[in-house]
Amino acid sequence: MIYTVTLNPAVDYVIQLDNFEQGTINRSKFDYKEAGGKGINVSRVLNRLGATSTALGFIGGFTGKFITDYLSEVNIAHDFVSLEEDTRINVKLKSGDEESEVNGTSPEISEKAYNHLLEKLQGLSHGDVVVLAGSLPTSLPQDTYKSLVTMLNKRGVSTILDTSGKALGEAIQAGPTFIKPNNFELAELFSEEVKSDDDIIRLAKRLHEENNIDHVLVSLAKEGAIYVGATGVYKLNAPKGKAIHSVGAGDSSVAGFIYKLQETSNAEDAAKFAVASGSATAFSKTLCTKEEAESLLNDIHVKKL
């Protein structure tokens, strides 16, 4: 069974304007709200691809209800720990072709709430897959993902990690099964400038070999992705197209990779499907459908390096 864990979910409030002007009243051309946060997006894309998952994490208030109502409506199982405080709202402002984001602050996570989540995860075992994705609520320590990965690894659970900054730096020490940093997150992780494919491959190989991470997929937005794993190093182009809404593209890549790896056990196919899913989301108004992802597969070429 696949579980996604979103410790810091969000209602994404997407606003489109022709031209945002600071210091004055702007009126949106259109706006909408979506159930967001990285793990929740992974569950949503898995659902669109035809795979079942259960969404876990912390949820609270009217914003939390918006998310759980939506998940129930689209038949995604969920078992969140309830909080009193509202789940945050993240603003995604699109002005012309430019995208800016303001991600809200997290509610406080009490020790009781954290232990409640821990109990749910402690019940998992070999064969289960857990996706740990997104930022950490500020009240949780930076090594939270590290301790969760350590605990899950001991139980034989596969761990997929998509986070950034210190939380990522700590968690890679526990050797998750799969990580998907983008090139900026990779550079930050090693405090190095990443200027070329060779830089990416060198650093991704270190993660694979020194940190014992089976699959390292470095996403490169419109440049595609680079994969490093036991079967080799692959460079994948992204298909050409008009990017409409790239929020959730990275989460779609994670979902696409997990979905295809479970289906074929082939890392090259999984990396290709990850790029197809990410790009299909970037090219559409919301998260991709299976048909949209599949329609891009012929435009993605995998180069073995």
Ligand X SMILES: O=P(O)(O)OC[C@H]1O[C@](O)(COP(=O)(O)O)[C@@H](O)[C@@H]1O
Q: Which does 9 bind (CB under 5 to 8 A by kind): ligand X, ligand ADP, none?
A: none
Does 45 interact with ligand ADP (rule: CB under 6 A)? no
Which strand (E) or helix (H) includes residue 91? Answer: strand 88-95
Residue number, 68 or 253, with CB nearest to ligand ADP: 253
What does the alpha-carbon distance between residue 202 and residue 68 come to, in Å, rounded to a whole number?
Answer: 41
Does 90 interact with ligand X (rule: CB under 6 A)? yes
| 198 in active site | no
> Cβ of residue 22: shortest distance to ligand ADP, in angstroms?
25
Active-site choice (86, 214, 251, 269): 251
> Cβ of residue 248: shortest distance to ligand ADP, in angstroms?
7
Beta-carbon contacts of residue 61 (< 8 Å; ≥ 6 apart): 83, 84, 85, 86, 87, 107
> Cβ of residue 237: shortest distance to ligand ADP, in angstroms?
9
Cα 305–Cα 230–Cα 298 angle in degrees, nearest 5: 55
Contact between 56 and 120 under an 8 Å Cβ cutoff? The reply is yes
Residue number, 151 or 221, with CB nearest to ligand ADP: 221
Contact between 153 and 178 under an 8 Å Cβ cutoff? The reply is no
Region binding ligand X by CB under 6 A among candidate stretches 34-42, 141-149, 184-192, 201-209: 34-42
CA atoms within 13 A on the CB side of 68: 18
Rounded alpha-carbon distances, angstroms, from residue 148 to 40, 79, 82: 18, 17, 19
Given the rule CB under 6 A, which residues bind ligand ADP?
Answer: 182, 219-222, 224-225, 238, 243, 246, 249-250, 253, 275, 278-279, 282
Given the rule CB under 6 A, which residues bind ligand X?
Answer: 8, 10, 12, 36-38, 41, 90, 103, 134-135, 247-251
Any idea which residues carry the catalytic annotation? Answer: 251
